[in-house]
Structures are given as C-alpha cells and as structure tokens.
Amino acid sequence: MNRKALVEAARVVGRILREGAYSNVLLRRETDPAVRGLALTAVRYLHRIDRCLAAASSRPLQRVDRDVLDLLRVAVAALDGPTPAPMVVDMAVTACREMAPHAAGFVNAVLRRVAAGSTEETTEPDVRFGIPRWLHEMLAAAWGEEEAEAFWEASNMAPPVGIRVRPGGVAPSGAVHVPGIGDAAWIDRPPAPPGTVIQDPASVAVVHAVEAESGTTVLEVGAAPGQKTLALVDRGATVVALDVHPRRVRTGSRRVPQANWLIADGRRLPLAPGSFPRVLVDAPCSGLGTLRRRPELRHRVTPGEIRRLAGLQRELVVAAMEAVAPGGRLVYAVCTVTPDETVQVVEGLGFFPPDLSLGRRWGDGLVLTPHRDGTDGMFISVWERPNLSSR
C-alpha cells in the first residue's frame, strides 16, 4: 500500500457515500488491490470506523471536512492491514498536506489515537459487522442471532467468482462445479473464459427453478439488465423480457437482442391472461443478498423503503399469476433476505420451494446464502397453476 492508494480509495468512498455511486461499478476496472480493499473495507465497516474516529476526534465528525473524513476512514481501514501503523499515519498526513494542509495536524492526532488503541471496543453485532442495528435485529428475529451473525460475517467477505457455462462452452481447468447446478462453477479470478459468463450460482439457480425447456415461452418481469434473460435464451426459451425503465430496457436489448423486449409496468401487464407456460418475476428489491459486491447497500436501505418494495413485489406477483397458463409455472426471485420482501410476499398464495440442490427452506420458498452455500443471498419460490384440462 502507498499514499496514492489511500487518496484514490478515499475518493471512491466519497463518491459511494455522497454521490450514490455503486462500488462494483467504480471498482470494476481498478487494478490496484490496495485501492479495492481499502475502499470496500471502509464502506463495509463504516459504522465501526466512524465510532472509532468519533472517540478519537476532538471535534464532531459532522464538522470535519468531507474529503478529510474520507481519508481518515480509509486510513483506519488500513490500520487493520499489513502496513505498519506508523507508515499508515505518515502516508495519511502527507496526503492531507496536499489536499487540506490546515487539517494535517488533526489527521495526525486522530490516527495516532486510533492506532494506539485508545478507542472503545465493542461486541455489539451491528458495529462488529457494520450493519444498521434495526436491520440486524430484523434478521435475528427471523433466523436467530447465530444464523444472522453468520450471514453478516460472510457478507463482509470477498466473494468468489461465479461463472455460467454457455451452450458449447467448457469450464476452465481448475473450476469448481456447483453441485446440482451443472452449468454453474467457481473460478479463481475474472475475466470469464470464452464460452462462459460471469454469473453467481444463486442467479443460475433461479433460471433452473423456471424449468424452461427448449421452445418454451417465458415472460420475465423485471428482466433488465438481462443476466437471467440470457441464461433463459441459452436454454432455448423464447423470452418476452419486460421492464418498466426505458433506459434499462435499452441496455438489456443490447445485451440480449434475441429476447423480445417490452417497456411496461409489471403490475398492469399489457398481455393476454393465461398465455405464458413459464413466468419469472425477478423483482426489484433491497439487494441485501449482494452485500459482498455492493456493501454500500446497508447504508442506503431503510425500513420504509423495504415496506415500499414489499408492497410492489406483492403487486407484481399477483399480476404475474394471472399471466400463467394452465399447467404453467411462476417463479418469484429476489436477491435479498428481509422477511418482508421474501416469505411475506408469497405468504398465503400457494407458493412452495423449488427442488434445488442449494439453499434451505424458509417459509414457502428456498433461501440461498453466502455462509451456507457460498452464493449471493437469494430467495426463490414457485407457484403452479392447475391444469384444468387434466381433471
């Protein structure tokens, strides 16, 4: 690690926290692992880092220059790394002299206090894992304290690289295949080899749950940007890919031109009822199952937003049920783990868990998690319309 990495990581953290940028997008082409590691650690453990800084600072953090505060945050993240603490402090002070000379003494004093261990230690789960207290309590109430803590701990680890092997492709030597998901595997590092695409096995599992054979027509609600759409097309399905956002539809249509893209609100489908043998509702959600890749989501989600999303998800599911043909199948999937957005959305509607090799049963669905399955967090549930002609 060097001074340049500290400065660049601080810039990334500032864009994430104040401009709404996504870490996986900002860091996609970052070649310096120190920048990636510092930025992600600072965002993941922001609660704990700010708590340390507040205890060591002579002034409220709200009164600290924002760029200086971001530099302090990544420097505290660096103090937990292999670089000796005095070197971290010196690099941070030098960087501060270049960007805000008046604050160099303040940065030096704060970081030396933090490095000396004069700040308060805590065993509180929300601070240890960098998760808002209300969010931890929500998951602990649903899963139990031990299970919730295991989920948060795994969600703070760097994710493995998942790939999906496309038709005609071959997994590279050394790839670890995912049991029961034949076209999913883990590789050591990106990029995806020829004949494969980057896709987490949890996402591939959703496509398996659809059970779309070659020639099957699938309606995908919330399809953009098209990762699952491409997987369905690769299985030989004819896909009507629907999304409410025109920009996202344009992106999806460029990515998967083989699908039939449609701009529409999934709550008011402009399609004939009962006309699709397979329907996938890939609903918008809080995304908390992807914290390994987008740690900033923990700072953006609110109880009100979760309630809003849950209401939207239920509307999408109820509308999609009308589109399923007799004997057809509907799959509801979200990459999150809040009870409101998962088990409660499908409760009382006759849904059931898919038959997959991954995950564990939760309510009327299946939940995949990083601490049990090594995948992103994903909830999958299935509903089937009775085939009246067979009665």
pLDDT digits (tens, 9 = 90+) for 18-74: 999 999 999 988 889 999 999 999 999 998 899 999 999 999 999 999 999 999 999
Burial of 255 (0-12, 13-18, 19+ CB in 10 A): middle
Answer yes or no: are the C-beta atoms of 64 and 39 closer than 8 Å. Answer: no
| Backbone φ/ψ region at 364: left (φ over 0), alpha (ψ -120 to 50), beta | alpha
Residues 6+ apart with CB under 8 A from 271: 219, 240, 323
pLDDT at 118 over 60: no
Set out the domains of the chain in order of their start, with CATH numbers.
3-121 (1.10.940.10), 126-155 (no CATH), 161-198 (no CATH), 200-390 (3.40.50.150)
Per-residue pLDDT at 389? 62
Per-residue pLDDT at 120? 54
Answer yes or no: are the C-beta atoms of 328 and 276 closer than 8 Å. Answer: yes
End-to-end CA distance of the chain: 69
**Inter-axis angle of helices 46-56 and 33-44, nearest 10:** 80
pTM reported for the whole predicted model: 0.93
Residues 6+ apart with CB under 8 A from 387: 326, 327
Per-residue pLDDT at 189? 85
Residue 121: pLDDT band (50, 70, 90) is low
Amino acid at 297: L
pLDDT above 70 covers what percent of the chain? Answer: 98
d(CA 63, CA 54): 11
Please confirm whether the linkage preceding 191 is cis (ω < 30° from 0).
yes
Per-residue pLDDT at 336? 98
pLDDT at 119 over 80: no
Per-residue pLDDT at 271? 94
Per-residue pLDDT at 80? 86
359-365 average pLDDT score: 97
| Tens digits of residue pLDDT in 2-15 | 889 999 999 999 99
Amino acid at 247: R
Which residue is associated with the tokens 């057809």? Answer: 328
